[in-house]
Amino acid sequence: MSSRNKLMKHFQLVGQLQPALHAPQHAPYPDTIDHAHYRAYLRSSHDVGGEPDVPITWEEKEEEQWEHNTFVTCECLAWRGVWNAEERRRRQNVDLGQTIYLGLPYYGRWLLTAARILVDKQYITLTELNNKIDEVRKRYE
């Protein structure tokens, strides 16, 4: 089997173990875990060190205004006690799953996490969040 096929098979297995929408499952007994499952269980979605990838060109990039605004908003949430840095990191890196982690830009994960925490901790309702998103979307159409 080619290394690409092995890699795709591994990512498919990890995707089943760490789906974007988590499906609870029973922990397997140690004697039922093969090497592929063992490797997939060890890797979290944000732990990409040592994984095969294509070479990329390093480019300096100016942060966009929305990225600055996101950072400031998230820092203000921390100052107000809504979350702490460790909770933010866990929620935006580990809890998202590989699909969302790799599919969103860095500050996009911050925004998603901020919205989830505000709703989860009942600072706002999901309806209020959706209404605000619709209001902003209409403003920019």
CA–CA separation, 47 vs 53, rounded Å? Answer: 13
Residue 29 designated active-site: no
The DSSP-derived string for 53-113 is ---------PPPHHHHHHHHHHHHHHHTTS--HHHHHIIIIITT-HHHHHHS-HHHHHHHH
Q: Which domains does the chain have, with CATH numbers?
A: 3-42 (no CATH), 65-139 (1.10.472.20)
Q: Which residues contact 17 (CB under 8 A, 6 or more apart)?
A: 37, 40, 41
CA–CA separation, 74 vs 83, rounded Å? Answer: 9
> What tens digit of pLDDT does each residue of 10-50 get?
777 766 665 555 556 677 777 888 888 777 666 666 666 66
> What tens digit of pLDDT does each residue of 47-93 get?
666 667 677 788 888 899 999 999 999 999 999 999 888 888 888 88
Instruction: Count the neighbouring beta carbons within 10 Å of the beta carbon of residue 135.
Output: 9
Report whether 101 contacts 21 (CB < 8 A): no
Check residue 27 and report its DSSP letter.
P
Conformational region of residue 49, where left means phi above 0, alpha means psi within -120 to 50, and beta covers everything else: beta
Q: Retrieve residue 87's tokens.
A: 């909770």
> What tens digit of pLDDT does each residue of 88-117 get?
888 888 787 777 887 888 899 999 999 999
Q: Retrieve residue 93's tokens.
A: 């890196």
Catalytic residue among 29, 41, 101, 106: 106
pTM across the whole model? 0.62
Q: Band of the pLDDT at 4, cuts 50, 70, 90?
A: confident
